Structure 1
């Protein structure tokens, strides 16, 4: 098959492919040229002399001498820059290409005097008067502050001249009492080591403050730790006992107490009036005995909305998601509640409704006592005892 006999679609596909490759090749060549130019420019920049700088136009220019500022840059390689001498009160110490000169420092601050005046090639040199030292405040800003005077029993270290600051220390055979006061040594203590190993007291050892405090602190800390552990164990034991007791009460409240405590009256063959009286008499002790066997926490009818709205006002918002996860609500239900409700409180309500519906298994709108007990125990496990007590006092007391 010849080229003229090929289908038109195949010819167009090959033509587009060739055109695309030519375009990519042109782009690569352009990038290569740019990279080589930048690399060569960098090499030229590195070849500038010490008294030259790299001009943004792509060649080296000469710098201005110290005391001169740059007025006009060189316009071509080999040409000289136009420089101008700094004005009075300004200076430039080194060769540069700066368009501005620096302002000279003033020595007119309190307790400061001039050592050498400012020139176009150097800045003013200042020093503090006798009895003062130079304090650096940040950047070029300085001030003169008075030298420190040593107190009683102290020696001056340093002369406090120029930028040096004198320090004070206690004299020989003295110890520090205050930052500016030292007293002569009279016993074995810090700063008086020569009194700790004398021939008259060869075994006397210097006692520090930690050696004196440790015999007192260690027993006290041990007692506090033991007491804390004991209180914690007692609290855990009481909490577990109350948890088991509530679980038993909740379980017993869900059973039918009448079927377990009801006693059938004895059938007596007598007249109708006597039979009725006998039945009433036998039923009275049965009711009394059944009432005495009921638990202390008698579950009342607690409606789900009433419980949920009370809980939403008690539980901290930051701990709510942790609570519903402990109650068995899945992340999918949490996300669905947040998607369906713009207000966060409505989303919280929907999460608790999911929990109550699963616990009631689609029953009526009354919340069982054992579900409330499990809810309270989850709060106690999260260390929210105050919230748990508030809910317990409201619904289970």
Structure 2
């Protein structure tokens, strides 16, 4: 009996211990979810506060309601956001040829580099950049935009010139791309053109107007004569019915022959409306709309996570919006989706759920500039290279 009671007690103790362990695990998971934006989850099972911008983590907090030990970044390093990193980022040096420092590096912000007058800041893949010499507009070109810190000089061909090279244009001498004013018009021929081949082009309006007026008057005259004959025959038929003694010869129908040439001459007027109707038909297709969420989910699967912040920075998403997206969404993909949403809302064109094609083209160009050619090709083949018309 005592053995039975002892076994029962041991079993109860084991059950209570298992419930205690499961409760602590559940409560630990709930606490992890309750960590504030300025905190992070310690692997020991509680939340620790993050270090402020300009500081780095020296020692994690030792328990709940205790603070982490943070120290300021060393000279030549910085940390822009709240963090729990043990190392700060190294400040960039503005030592490249023709470069200068616009703003110095601080503990909270990286140094900003620019270029000397006559040069512009040209960025390559990753963080690489250089100061390139501003170009001068070449032969046959005119300037449309000055060289700035971030953009080269903008040039275009003069009027009646076509582009022959990267920085040169030549005068138009024959029909070609850029010289449309020398190309023969593709306007369809006038169906009423019935003048002789020797007539000069300036005489055409003077000849066509009288011809069209004559055809109209002739058609109207034939119609009036026909209606007059029809009414006369109707009236004569009714009078002959009332006078049975009238000779049979009076009931003979009066036949009018209309010239076949006169009828044929009026045909172009009857055919004209059908041609106008044909030219007013709607196109067989309408441009395919690119849904924003469809494009975003495809991009999230293609672009590497480690390169995503660099991508949205090139898309001119501010650091403040990037930080806010990371604070609002613990899940990495949700945060990246929010960053893309900020980019699309700041653009122009398209509806609230539709992304314009020029935005997608800009997106692809930036990916190529980041040496992510594979991602750019996949996005281009998915949204740009396919048929952009959808059936009605």
**Same structural fold, with TM-score higher than 0.5 when normalized by the shorter chain:** no
The TM-score bracket by the shorter chain reads: 0.3 to 0.5
Which has the greater radius of gyration? 1
Q: What is the TM-score when the length of structure 2 is the normalising length?
A: 0.40
TM-score (norm 1): 0.40
